[in-house]
Structure 1
Amino acid sequence: MTITDVLPAMRSFSPSAFAARFSARRSESAPAPTAAPAAVRPESEPRKAEPRAPRKVEPLRPRIEIPVRDPSPAHKIAEGYRDRGRFLARQEEWETLGREICAADRDRLLTKGLRSVAALLAEGARSDAVEAGRAAVQKGEANAARAILTALELNMEEIPDCPATAYVVAMAHIDLARAWAGASRAADLSPPRFMSFKEHMGLAAELADRFDPFETQSPLWAEVRCRVLDIDPRPSQRVCDDYEDLIDLEPGNPDHLRALGRDLLPRRFGNRETLEREARRAAMRTEDVWGVGGYSWVYMGAIEKDPDALRGLDADLFAEGLHDILSRHPGQDMANRLAAFTGMTASSVSAPGTIQARISDCFNWIAQDHLHELHPAVWALAPAPSREERVEIETCDLVKRGRTRAISALAEHFAPLLDGGRRLVFTPQGLQMPRLD
């Protein structure tokens, strides 16, 4: 039995109506058992243990059945590029690394999960230095953190004009600047932490001044310019133009659109009106790639950081954008990403007709029509509501955390059907809802 057979109008179903319908049917067919009266014994008669006949307990069938894919193809490919960058850096093959990063940047190579291949190679290349630097930051050792990146910069001596290796160093400085800031805004940092934050950001900005993103045709350097806006004296006057350059250079990378949404929040460099205007402009500039999906990507980035961004959202345009995204990228990586966002990141208890309810409706059709398998890493790493800081998760916990989050979101959304005696079975043909045996 398919969902079409059970729910001819699922997208507009009433949870309360289904709950009442299935609960009533269950109560008619299976009346509640009554307790047997206890035997009365004389007080003088000792109680004897009565043997109980062994009872066979049937194994419980899962109420939600969905195949788990770990690692997902997109996650595995991304890790492969990170490992490649880390290997070349450890072997000190910086010229080879520089050529591979530059080629991937020039050709705008993206993984199956729409991650920049050049950025992933660079992330792996600096990972050892950044890990050691973060350990120094945790101890408050500014000199040690600085020395670690100075050692990394020595790799540029033989190839000082290579934009790829310079990018590795610039992003390492930005990573450590973020480590000094933590979850706080730069303005709220203590003087010592702010000085370290500013120093690392300043060194990254100096490198960015050496490599013009349009002369080098490099989205990587356009990204660096957006990342160092924190130390610009007038970031609100630059943020829209800098992101326009970045998105125009690499419109197919949704990470840039999401980053724009984050940086246009009021606590960053924008406000609600600017966010709405730039989300619509981004949708127009990327229409050939995303339809109106650019609008949705920008707001997803904003909402992941601040749920209050929902207040300015055009819910109908947002939903249309999700349809456009999935029509262009119908794979399971994208289905999981959008399901995790609509079912968990932006979820909340809401009354009918609210923006939250509209997003919940989007989770409904994404789960029904597009979600066939579970990618735990996507759910495990998705921002949770009202949590701004990135939670560091051990790799071995990704599957457990991601599966728990996904099953919880599905169980909450489809609770009326589960309570009515149905199972959710996700298949490549769509969501099926057979009765429990």
Structure 2
Amino acid sequence: MRILTQKFAALRDSQSLLPISSTDPGDSESAYLQDEIPPLRPRVEIPICDPGTEAHALAKSFGRGQFLARQDAWEDVSREIRDAEEQRSLTPGLASIAQVIAKGCRSDAIYAVGQAIEKSNIQGAGAILTAFAINLEEEPDDPALSYVLAMSHVDVALIWRGASRVQDLAPQRRQAHDYHMHAAAALADRFDPFEQDSPLWAQVRCAVIDSDPCAAQRVADDFEDLIDLDPQNPFHLVALGQHLLPRRLGTLEMLDRQARRKVAQLSDVWGAGAYTWVFMGALQQDPAAFRRLDPELFVEGMHEILDRHPSQHMANVMAAFTGLTIAAPSENNSARARVMDCFRWILQDHLRELHPQVWALAPVPGKPDMHLGDDVDLINLGRTRAIGSIAQHFAPALESGRRLVFTPDGLQLRKSI
């Protein structure tokens, strides 16, 4: 199957990795950035870390998985995923290295499927995934390779769904979505997460939960299993918050109850930070979650997260959330205003350098989510977003002719030269 794998790679290399000219006013990147660029260049001086430590680690693990798949080195794929999972290896930004390797493994095939679906080539999309699956089905009892296949089905299902709710899909898209979700669920039934000591398979169960008619009754327990198996990984808590939104599988009351429950269960790992991660996931997708938020507990959790993980990556994550994702006009003393106010002390006490990719990938209401590999200059987009957010927050000082300078000792306001 080496030839097919190389064809997937060639398709991706020829279409998705070409640089986009920033001088062409009609290209997608320029159009995307146009309404994000502030009218005047703000006087903000901050070191730019490109790539940041997290971006470098993600690229390394993703590239490793992609390389091994292109070589049809499936035994190596299996061993490296299993080793990373067994050790619960995380990137500096606390992402699962096993998950990232697996994502790299399937990336070429999933890109090719996406291109076929975009062209309404339904048979072609199915044939691509079938060809890719042949590589993985040669060892049907291998949990790592079966995980790659299961998540390939999940990825394809999500492509069919797009930005729509499942119940709003056209019949053909709904049928394709459901087929791939059920295929992933069937694989998940063969690998018990606790017998395998596998957060990867617990993650698959959570990923396919929407396909279960009893999903609302399962969601809290399934995520509890996942978090028990991989408590250091905050992305599971974020995903829990997103699944507990009323428009998904929960209620605001259930969201608050589960967030507080996680504080007690993960007191030695996250403390109040567990509450913060769960609500961050919810607030990224629906600001209505502010109605149930305990702002003081949330802010306490932000302090704990930054105390336990005092990295510049984490400072950028929290700054992007408070200064970009949830930034909006709000009433004084509201929960939103209380959390937005944290932007200032995060900048003053924690931020020393800018990691543009963090800001580029941060969710922004009203704009499509960005992902690694998108045909957008993430560094330029992230820098624009960050500098614009910081400048807007300190607008009165900047308008009076001063400049912001980020130093190793903290943020300083200086007279313009």
The code of the aligned residue for 1:94 comes to W
Letter in 1 for 2:151: M
Matched, 1:309 2:294: no
Q: Within the alignment, does 1:300 sit opposite 2:300 as a pair? A: no
> For the Cα contact (< 8 Å) 1:343–1:360, is it kept in 2?
yes
Partner residue of 2:72 out of 84, 92, 106: 92
* Matched residue, 2:250: 270
CA contact (8 A) 1:351 1:357 kept: yes
> In structure 1, the residue corresponding to 2:414 is in which secondary structure?
coil
Q: CA deviation at 1:110?
A: 0.2
Deviations 1:246-298 (A, max 9, x none): 01111111110000011011111001100110111112212111111010001
Deviations 1:314-362 (A, max 9, x none): 1000000000000011110000000000001011122321112111211
Q: Structure 1's 201 and 161: CA in aligned 2 closer, same or farther, altered over 3 A?
A: same
Question: What pairs up with 1:54-69 in 2 under 5 angstroms?
Answer: 63-69=43-49
Q: Which runs of 5+ in 2 are unaligned?
A: 1-39
Root mean square deviation of aligned Cα: 1.6
AA in 2 matched with 1:123:
K
Structure 2 residue aligned with 1:117: 97
Hey, what does 1:54 align to over in structure 2? none
Which blocks of at least 5 consecutive residues in structure 1 are unaligned? Answer: 1-59
Aligned partner of residue 432 in structure 1, secondary structure: strand
* Bigger Rg over Cα: 1
Residue 434 of structure 1 deviates from its aligned partner by: 1.3
The answer (yes or no) to whether the contact 1:183–1:388 under 8 Å persists in 2 is no
Determine the C-alpha separation between the residues in 2 that align with 1:334 and 1:360: 17
Q: Does 1:147 align with 2:127?
A: yes
Shift in CA distance, 205/131, structure 1 to aligned 2, threshold 3 Å: same
- The 1:407/1:127 distance shift into structure 2, 3 A limit, reads same
* Farther-moved stretch of structure 1 (149-158 vs 199-208): 149-158
Question: Which of residues 303, 309, 322 in structure 2 aligns to 1:329?
Answer: 309
Deviation at 1:306, TM superposition (A): 1.1
SS of the residue 2:411 aligns to? strand
In the alignment, the residues of structure 1 paired with residue 367 and residue 249 of structure 2 have an alpha-carbon distance, to the nearest angstrom, of: 20
**1:189, 1:62 → 2: CA distance?**
44
Residue 431 of structure 1: aligned partner? 411
CA 302–407 in structure 1, closer or farther in 2 if over 3 Å, else same:
same
Deviation at 1:385, TM superposition (A): 2.2
Give me the identity figure in percent.
55
Partners in 2 of 1:248 and 1:136 — Cα distance?
38
In the alignment, structure 1 residue 339 sits paired with structure 2 residue 319: yes
Find the residue that maps to 2:248 and give its secondary structure.
Answer: coil
Q: 5 Å matches for 1:33-432?
A: 63-387=43-367, 389-390=369-370, 394=374, 397-432=377-412
1:334 maps to a residue whose letter is M
Per the TM alignment, residue 395 of structure 1 is displaced from its structure 2 partner at its CA by 6.1
| Correspondence for 1:15 | none
CA-to-aligned-CA distance 1:364-401 (integer Å, 9 cap, x gap): 10011000000100001100024465578746611111
Aligned length: 378
More divergent stretch after superposition (166-175 vs 352-361): 352-361
Residue pair 2:356, 2:383 contacting (<8 A) in 1 also:
yes
Amino acid at match of 1:306: D
Q: Is the 8 A contact 2:362 2:369 kept in 1?
A: no
Q: Which moved more, 1:170-179 or 1:419-428?
A: 419-428
